[in-house]
Amino acid sequence: MVSSNSKSYFRAVEASHRTYTRAIKQARSRQGLMNIYWRHKRQHEQLLKSHLRGEMAQLNKLKKKIK
């Protein structure tokens, strides 16, 4: 089941990967590449954390209905 929350997460990840790929192609140095990677990794972790928080809230709502 893909919820609207999942769809927005996937769109955000796709946009993040597009900018990451574009930035890698424009990098001029090794350190520049590493900075791009770390920035992308941090952004990806934030997106995932937010997504999982939303899914947990959704599960908690469903659990309350079952009780």
Q: What is the pLDDT of residues 2-52, one digit of tens each?
A: 667 788 999 999 999 999 999 999 999 999 999 999 999 999 999 999 999
Any alpha helices (H) in 1-67, and if so which ranges?
Answer: 4-26, 30-66
Token look-up 């995932």 returns 48
Report, as an integer, the average pLDDT of 60-66. 93
Within-domain flag for 42: yes
Question: In the Cβ-directed half-sphere of 36, how many Cα atoms lie within 13 Å?
Answer: 18
**In whole angstroms, what is the distance from residue 63 CA to residue 52 CA?**
16
Which range marks the domain in which residue 56 is found? 18-66
Q: How many domains does the chain have?
A: 1
Using the 8-state DSSP alphabet, how is residue 22 labeled? H
Within-domain flag for 52: yes
Q: List all residues 6 or more positions away from 50 whose beta carbon is below 8 Å from its beta carbon.
A: 9
